Chains A and B, each alone.
Chain A
């Protein structure tokens, strides 16, 4: 089946620093999604990507759909304490509504 490798697994950064995380897939995806999950809550959609090469921003967040369609990255600029949480990438293949999830990147921001 499809596998997603998400890295890094966890990050500790100083407030104000930029953050970058990425996901790579063993197969091609038609959709890449980035979610943030806080403790005891469901994942919240941050950015959705639907075309290879697409670069999309949402405030301080920027994500790109890799040209090969097998990877995506998420950048967070000028991190703040409320950025703390677990970030998941997810992808969907052609003709499929099902998502394959990465294992998550746990972000900790030191004030």
Chain B
């Protein structure tokens, strides 16, 4: 149980285009999903916290107009990188916290990540 998927796993796009990344909890419902960014050989950096049906909370320094987050249902959150530039190239990872107390709401289960390359 507690499987999180991400799509696509890899994406290459031209500078100036927008890219949408989907994060789905496959076998549980999640009121809260998180979006992280990870640079090579570094730890995960939290970008934003997404709650179903409400606006996402962005970490300091993360542009909300550039990284649009939509948490439309209890199993789906999307991250759209708008007008992507080469410096946005990174590994983006989502995670989800289960509603089900048996899975523990304090625990985050991670997706496999999306490698974004902006040319």
What residues of chain A have their CB less than 8 Å away from a CB belonging to chain B?
30-31, 33, 35, 40-45, 48, 50, 88, 90, 92, 97-99, 101-104
What residues of chain B have their CB less than 8 Å away from a CB belonging to chain A?
2, 4, 6, 32, 34, 42-44, 46, 49, 91, 93, 95, 97, 104-113, 115
Whether B104 and A48, one on each chain, are in contact in the complex, defined by CB atoms closer than 8 angstroms, is yes
Nearest-Cβ distance from residue B34 to partner chain A, whole angstroms: 7
> What does DSSP make chain A's interface, helix, strand, loop or mixed?
loop
A52 to B73, CA, bound (A): 35
Whether A45 and B109, one on each chain, are in contact in the complex, defined by CB atoms closer than 8 angstroms, is yes
Residues in B with CB closer than 8 Å to A88 are 43-44
Instruction: Name the residue of chain A whose CB is nearest to the CB of B115.
Output: A40
Residues in B with CB closer than 8 Å to A42 are 4, 6, 93, 95, 110-113
A102-B43, A104-B43 known; A97 and B105 CB under 8 Å? Answer: yes
Whether A92 and B106, one on each chain, are in contact in the complex, defined by CB atoms closer than 8 angstroms, is yes
Residues in A with CB closer than 8 Å to B107 are 31, 33, 45, 48
Residues in B with CB closer than 8 Å to A31 are 106-107
A96 to B68, CA, bound (A): 23
Residues in B with CB closer than 8 Å to A48 are 104, 106-107
A24 to B2, CA, bound (A): 27
21 A–B pairs (Cβ distance < 8 Å), ordered by A: A40-B113, A41-B112, A42-B6, A42-B110, A42-B112, A42-B113, A43-B93, A45-B2, A45-B107, A45-B108, A48-B104, A48-B106, A48-B107, A50-B104, A88-B44, A92-B106, A97-B34, A97-B97, A97-B105, A98-B46, A101-B43
A97 to B107, CA, bound (A): 8
